[in-house]
Amino acid sequence: MAYDYKSELEKWMSERYLTTFDVTDLIEEIRKDRKTSDLSDVDDSMDGDFDSAMASAGHGTDEDYGYFGDPEICGE
């Protein structure tokens, strides 16, 4: 059985009290934003490694959970 995108979209819209005009306006705003956005205002200065990203996301680091590396593998 094929997925019924139209009924799912209509259900999603009705749950949010949106009309087809609202959705059309949203799509137009997204398209306009994509055309005018050059991403020059993006600040990449905080880009780091995987561990710092996971710590920032609230997952902590291995050291937070008491793991400091396997001395057999890392030579520590």
pTM score, whole prediction: 0.39
Average pLDDT over residues 28-51: 75
Going by pLDDT thresholds of 50, 70 and 90, the confidence category of residue 74 is low
**Regarding predicted confidence, which is higher, 31 or 68?**
31
* Contact present, 23 and 13 (Cβ < 8 Å): yes
Numbers of helices and strands, H then E, in the chain: 4, 0
Task: Give me the residue label for tokens 């991403």.
Answer: 39
Buried b (16+ CB within 10 A) or exposed e, 21-40: eeeeeeeeeeeeeeeeeeee
pLDDT: is 30 or 62 the higher one? 30
- State percent of the chain over pLDDT 70: 58
